[in-house]
Amino acid sequence: MAMHSFNPAPDPITAVRSAYQASLELAPTKGVDRSRAVQAMAKALASRTDDILEANTLDLEASREMAVPELILEWLKLTPERIQTTVQLLQRLGELSDPIRRVMNAAYQLDHSQTYCQLMPLGVIALIYEAFPELGAIAAGLCIKTGNSLILKGCSYAEHSNLAIASALQEALDRSEMPTGCLELLPGDLGASIGDLVTQDRYLNLVIPYGRPSLVQQVMQQSTAPVLKSAMGNCYLYWSPTGSLDLARLVIIDSHMSEPDPVNAIEKVLIHPNQKPSSLITLWNSLKDKGFKVRGDAQLVADFPDQLSRAAESEWSQAYLDKVVAFKVIDSIDSAIAWINRFSSGHADCLVTESYQESRQFALGIDSASVYINSSPRFSRIPKPGDSIFLGMSNQKGHRRGLISMETLTTVKHIVQGNLFS
């Protein structure tokens, strides 16, 4: 069956203006209509699975010929299971309650009037993403559900995959009578530059970069529109002397299990000098058996030269985005908190302890979006039934912090209803 015809926008300015006009038409639509559109997107994606996998194969073959890093190839790869997960996610998204125009109490009242707030769409959102073809579909579902237009700017490695997915989604949007332009796709080549897109702040309300830290930093530096930073990797665990070895091992390994991007993977572990050498060796061997590479600071490498390779000083603030875990000796929980606040990526940090006092001190002291105590930080876009759907994690204190959900893509409107003339 031939793919639905869908052409990428010729340039960022055209895409942004088209998306802006569509956002004005999309904002007043009924929640039930937007939910039906998201359900139609799920069905279209499922029905086009073979076409999408075929397009993905072309991208993978071309990327291997260009010697694209293995990390990006893993992010780029689609499987029937990954597509099915995305379909299920869109189906669930279509079933969730509509957040738009949800009424909330205002923080103030004026004389002779009633003041209240409502959640409203942001307007036009741009997703700039490195590989992860299915992420475009997830972002599209979140945006249509919340009454926002979306501009997709992928990388050249995923050109065929992104076009195949966008074509399937656009077919569903057309059938659902959503406004023309509510989903725009920009070519992945450098001709449609990131700078040209993210400086359209007259029409663009939010930019979400998703990929390696270098991409996120590039967008942050160039954008004149608001940016919602996403983060992955370089999460820390402080393994207290009172903490269980089995729990520490479980938390580290489980944190790396989310696919295809281990967003909250623990890559650094801080340990107390009192930690038993036998426990350390047991943990390191367990990690190695699971395919991890294990590194250490100068002190640990000197004490255990056969177990660890040396971690460079620069590595403590960098994400590996791989199955690598580095260990460092730290003299107290106070020092651990200070170190994590300085060097972690600031989106998900962990503590394994049996001390209630330590758990409270850690929870209050860590300056990160999420803190996990005796719990795996493993990230899931599609958690338990009835929960929200998550695009990723944000580590900033600006627009919204933490899990990127439907509510993240909304803003607040204050409405003052006067009764002066009644």
* C-alpha count within 13 angstroms, C-beta hemisphere, residue 192: 24
Encoded tokens for 261? 């991007």
At 2, is the pLDDT very low, low, confident or very high (cuts 50, 70, 90)? very low
Within 8 A by CB and 6+ apart from 65, the residues are none
In angstroms, the CA 133 to CA 162 distance is: 6
Q: Are the CB atoms for 123 and 23 separated by under 8 Å?
A: yes
State the DSSP code for 227: B
Tell me, what's the pLDDT at 79? 96
Tell me, what's the pLDDT at 226? 94
Closest among 405, 332, 338, 326 to 365, alpha carbons compared: 338
Q: Are the CB atoms for 163 and 243 separated by under 8 Å?
A: no
Inform me whether the pLDDT recorded for 197 exceeds 70: yes
Tell me, what's the pLDDT at 283? 97
State the DSSP code for 274: T
Q: Are the CB atoms for 26 and 121 separated by under 8 Å?
A: yes
∠ CA 52-161-206, rounded to 5°: 125
At 205, is the pLDDT very low, low, confident or very high (cuts 50, 70, 90)? very high
Tell me, what's the pLDDT at 3? 47
At 421, is the pLDDT very low, low, confident or very high (cuts 50, 70, 90)? low
Tell me, what's the pLDDT at 101? 81
pLDDT digits (tens, 9 = 90+) for 14-37: 999 999 999 999 999 999 999 999
At 1, is the pLDDT very low, low, confident or very high (cuts 50, 70, 90)? very low
Which helix (H) or strand (E) covers residue 309, if one does?
Answer: strand 309-310
Of 39-53, 118-132, 384-398, minimum mean pLDDT range: 384-398
* DSSP conformation letters of 24-58: HHHTTS-HHHHHHHHHHHHHHHHHTHHHHHHHHHH
Tell me, what's the pLDDT at 420? 66
3-class state of residue 351 by DSSP:
strand
Q: Is the dihedral of CA 321, 324, 327, 328 positive or negative?
A: negative
In terms of DSSP H, where are the helices of 48-97? 49-65, 70-76, 80-95
Q: Look up the CATH superfamily of 235-373.
A: Aldehyde Dehydrogenase; Chain A, domain 2 (3.40.309.10)
Inform me whether the pLDDT recorded for 62 exceeds 50: yes
Inform me whether the pLDDT recorded for 196 exceeds 50: yes
Tell me, what's the pLDDT at 14? 92
Of 171-175, 260-264, 334-338, 357-361, minimum mean pLDDT range: 260-264
Mean pLDDT of 205-228: 94
Q: Where are the domains of the chain?
A: 12-230+391-418, 235-373
Q: Are the CB atoms for 336 and 312 separated by under 8 Å?
A: no
User: 104 versus 310: which is more confidently predicted?
Assistant: 310
- The CATH topology of domain 12-230+391-418 is Aldehyde Dehydrogenase; Chain A, domain 1 (3.40.605)
Give the sheet arrangement for strand 410-418, strand by strand.
103-105, 113-121, 410-418
pLDDT digits (tens, 9 = 90+) for 296-344: 999 999 999 999 999 999 999 999 999 999 999 999 999 999 999 999 9
**What share of the chain has pLDDT > 90, as a percent?**
80
Tell me, what's the pLDDT at 422? 53
Tell me, what's the pLDDT at 65? 92
Mean pLDDT of 385-406: 85
Encoded tokens for 354? 């049996």
Inform me whether the pLDDT recorded for 286 exceeds 90: yes
Query: In the predicted model, what is the mean pLDDT of the chain?
Result: 92
Which helix (H) or strand (E) covers residue 197, if one does?
Answer: helix 194-198
Question: Which range is most confident: 128-132, 195-199, 236-240, 414-418?
Answer: 236-240
In angstroms, the CA 407 to CA 405 distance is: 5
Residue 239 phi/psi, 5-degree rounding, is -95, 100
Mean pLDDT of 127-131: 94
Q: Are β-strands 113-121 and 410-418 bridged in parallel, bridged antiparallel, or unpaired?
A: antiparallel
- Taking CA atoms, 388 is separated from 94, 274, 382, 394, in Å, by 11, 41, 8, 16
